[in-house]
Amino acid sequence: MNTSDKKQSVLVWDFPVRVFHWLLVISFTGAWLTSEGEAFQLIHYAFGYSACAIILFRIIWGIVGTRYARFTEFVKGPAETWQYIKSLLVGKQAVSPGHNPVGALVMISLVILILLIDLTGYWIVKDVLGSLMSGAHEAISNLAFGFVLLHVAAAIIMSFVQKENLVKSMFTGIKQGSPEQAIRYPMYIVGMGLTLAYMYCFYLVVSGSLPSLTQ
Ligand code: HEM
Ligand code: HEM
């Protein structure tokens, strides 16, 4: 066996990807829990807009980020996706330690749904189409919630299938792979910048400093 075939702990998820993920979880959960009642209105908007801000960052990071953060690494066409499903059915292990093509489809759908929730939320505030928009906002939120359940179930099931704790990897960034599969830099500064930008965005909305978005 070649030495590089031996699996060892390698850094796969850079810090910005991990920060993005858990901030998105906080935003979605926060927006969900504050969706009813006038008292939480600004907090609800703040979670929603902050989610939008980090998604815009993630789109840029999907182009300029580290190896497994890039869209070209995990967004695959139908042929490759089908190939992956077939290999999974015969019990083969994934070749890349990055996102698998099927999981990527669910994750991208989730991100698009959250952007649509934000857009319809903004239109409710701007009184576009009245109760129709409220209905759309709530319906898309429920659909996204369904996708979240599917995504979490998939993360747990795939952890058993791959015999690797994928949820833990989203915290540590570490997965099993060969040394040449590792990314070189964790990009801590970018991740810290993202956290600060998120907090600032949240503060601006919650303090009412961006009336064009909240009134
Ligand atoms: C509101 C809830 C959630 C949303 C919107 C969400 C969304 C996402 C997105 C967009 C990604 C891709 C990350 C990237 O490349 O930047 C991802 C990955 C991932 N998420 Fe979530 N997530 C949610 C909750 C959770 C929870 C609760 C868990 C754990 C139980 C989880 C586990 C994971 C894992 C393990 C991955 C990496 C999958 C892989 O190894 O390819 N997610 N999620
Ligand atoms: C992740 C982001 C978001 C999620 C998951 C979310 C979820 C929800 C849900 C489930 C409701 C329905 C509550 C109910 O009546 O039972 C709701 C209501 C509402 N949301 Fe959001 N929301 C998000 C972002 C936003 C944003 C960015 C805005 C506006 C700036 C917004 C504005 C509103 C308004 C005004 C309502 C009340 C609608 C009405 O009853 O007329 N939301 N949201």
Domain ranges of the chain: 3-214
Tokens representing 39 are 């008292």
pLDDT of residue 2: 45
What is the number of residues in the chain?
215
- Whole-angstrom distance, CA of residue 197 vs CA of residue 43: 17
User: For the segment 100-128, what is each residue's pLDDT rounded down to a tens digit?
Assistant: 999 999 999 999 999 999 999 999 999 99
Using a 6 Å cutoff on CB, does residue 134 contact ligand 2?
yes
3-214 classified as CATH 1.20.950.20: yes
Tokens representing 122 are 């903004």
Using a 6 Å cutoff on CB, does residue 202 contact ligand 2?
no
Whether 54 contacts 46, CB under 8 Å? no
Mean pLDDT computed over every residue of the chain: 94
pLDDT of residue 5: 59
Distance from the alpha carbon of residue 118 to the mean position of ligand 2, in angstroms: 8
CA proximity to 21, closest of 203, 152, 159: 152
Tokens representing 196 are 């600060």
Among 55, 124, 140, 215, which residue has the most ligand 2 atoms within 8 Å of its CB, making it the best to mutate? 124
13 — alpha (psi -120 to 50), left (phi > 0) or beta?
beta
User: For the segment 126-158, what is each residue's pLDDT rounded down to a tens digit?
Assistant: 999 989 999 999 999 999 999 999 999 999 999
Tell if the pTM clears 0.85, that is, is over it.
yes
DSSP tally for the chain: helices H, then strands E: 9, 2
Mean pLDDT of 178-185: 94
Residue 130, φ and ψ in degrees, nearest 5: 50, -130
pLDDT of residue 95: 75
Distance from the alpha carbon of residue 19 to the mean position of ligand 1, in angstroms: 11
